[in-house]
Structure 1
Amino acid sequence: MTNADAMDDACREAAELISHADSLLVTAGAGIGIDSGLPDFRGDNGFWQAYPALGKLGMRFYEIANPNAFLTMPEVAWGFYGHRLQLYRATVPHEGFTQLLRLVRKMPNGCFVFTSNVDGQFQKAGFAAERMVECHGSIHHLQCMNGCGRPPWPAEGFEPVVDTGNCRLLSTLPSCPACGGLARPHILMFGDWDWDSRHAERQQARLQTWLARAKRPVVIEIGAGTAIPTVRYFGEAAGCPLIRLNPMECAVGMARDIGIPLGALEGITRITGALLP
């Protein structure tokens, strides 16, 4: 059997598994956004290629994706996150999101999304916000650096102007509407003890209620790697069959699970093509 034949068989097996499911738990990491043109920071070189100004400074991803950066260099920190906010606002989700949405709309219990992505692409593609866990938060919301008690608020009124060549925010730094202190993205960063987790906890509670109603759930994990394995661990702990789409790290640990070495768009297209008219 050739590799192509094995791939076809795996996609058909995944389609068969989904055809018997009453609900789909979609777990997703950064890899799902690559086909939409979003950068994937794999190692320092990949990060520095996306943000050469930070490469010149020798800053690593974990140093800029850190609340301390907002205290010591807020214009640079907001240069990075302001650019990302602009990028995510402008990005159009790839066709795989639409195909997945068409698929889950046919299921009795629908779907729930668990993602470490902060880009809001699932919501933009039409997935219900009330059936979403953003375990690392969302760049489309802000929170107060002072911890004044103000709940996170939408970032809709913040229009960052960024000098991308130097990765610096040129416009006014965003501030808390309650206390006037510096605002930061509502994202769980490295070394972050002050992230406001209340919204994520409410999302998690809704997910557990949904899972309790599911009779034949299947997990489809898309683009979730092992470097920060939050998404992988959650899907594996769900206790139901798992389909893993990952071009580099698709190995699975249980015989009932299916690993497919494909990216998001191609993998979703081939699986749903076997199910949808």
Structure 2
Amino acid sequence: MDAALARAARWLRAADGLLISAGAGMGIDSGLPDFRGPGGFWAVYPALGRAGIRFEAIANPDAFRRDPRLAWGFYGHRLALYRATAPHAGFALLRSIAETMRHGAFVFTSNVDGHFAKAGFPPQRICEIHGSIHHLQCAAGCGEQIWVADDFQPVIDAENCRLLNDPPQCPRCGALARPNILMFGDWGWIERRSALQEQRLGQWLATAERPVVIEIGAGTAIPSVRHFSENCGGKLIRINPGDPEVPANDQSISLPLGGLDGITRLCQAFA
């Protein structure tokens, strides 16, 4: 482990840009729940467990058509949780590493919690490939408008996973609003905001000559982040306690550690 950390630190000292790629495991040390597997998901949402509703069924645009208050009970609870939770110290440590580099950092994440922006990363340097729970769109598909969710303050019956107050509405047509998040079976997601973020990421990658990727907590079930990390053109440092495997080449380092622990040790080796 010490040899891998020392090698990773050498890569970072030689880098001119830090690409941070992150999956759900990045939020665990902040106290955010792990939804992997129905057992973990239903432990957080027992009402959905009693009804036998899996994550793929509630994180689905059909849920807003079938039972809007149940769907917003789930997403409203998450929105309130993400607003109330502070990002862990690893976010600031990553910023401190990036500040030593000519081109700073860019974030590529499948997380919808908004915690990189909350931790001080510039919004124009964040690419949220699955969207953001802090933004809304029309559930009826009346147009391409995306707006911030700041005015929506969900009141949740946590025991029954149901929204008690009025759900948000589309300002254009008055229909139900939904999160601007890519869900399962989702043909109505408005990807314009995330597409612009990806465009900015491509421009940043074109300027960085020696980027290094630090990937944290990206799983294999939906491997979007892992695929990006392995194919973006930079050296890869993968921090993951459960799925630490890396491609068999000399451009990848595996650190089988939790997110905050791995970032902390890496920062100590880099100092």
Both structures adopt the same fold (TM-score exceeding 0.5)? yes
2:134 corresponding residue in structure 1:
140
Q: What's the secondary structure of 1:127's corresponding residue?
A: coil
Looking at structure 1, the residues matched to 258 and 54 of structure 2 have their Cα atoms a distance apart, in angstroms, of: 26
Looking at structure 2, the residues matched to 265 and 84 of structure 1 have their Cα atoms a distance apart, in angstroms, of: 22
1:261 corresponding residue in structure 2:
256
The answer to whether the 8 A contact 2:113-2:132 is kept is yes
Q: What's the secondary structure of 1:218's corresponding residue?
A: strand
Q: What's the secondary structure of 1:274's corresponding residue?
A: helix
RMSD: 0.8
Deviations 1:157-212 (A, max 9, x none): 00000000000000001100111000001100000000000011111111111100
Looking at structure 1, the residues matched to 106 and 246 of structure 2 have their Cα atoms a distance apart, in angstroms, of: 22
1:272 corresponding residue in structure 2:
267
Deviations 1:19-64 (A, max 9, x none): 1100011100000000000011110100001111100000000000
Q: What's the secondary structure of 2:270's corresponding residue?
A: coil
Deviations 1:212-266 (A, max 9, x none): 0001011111000000000001111112210000001111112320001001101
Looking at structure 1, the residues matched to 28 and 3 of structure 2 have their Cα atoms a distance apart, in angstroms, of: 25
1:150 deviation in Å? 4.5
Q: Count residues with an aligned counterpart.
A: 270
1:96 corresponding residue in structure 2:
90
Which residue of 187, 206, 209 corresponds with 2:203? 209
Letter in 1 for 2:141: G
Deviations 1:133-172 (A, max 9, x none): 1000000001001211151100000000000000000000
Matched, 1:152 2:146: yes
1:12 deviation in Å? 1.5
2:233 corresponding residue in structure 1:
239
Provide structure 1 residue ranges, at least 5 long, that are not aligned to the other structure.
1-6
Looking at structure 2, the residues matched to 261 and 159 of structure 1 have their Cα atoms a distance apart, in angstroms, of: 39
Listed as ranges, the matches of 1:59-70 within 5 Å are 59-70=53-64
Q: What's the secondary structure of 1:221's corresponding residue?
A: strand
1:23 corresponding residue in structure 2:
17
Which residue of 37, 52, 72 corresponds with 1:58? 52
TM-score (norm 2): 0.98
222-231 or 148-157: which moved more?
A: 148-157
TM-score (norm 1): 0.96
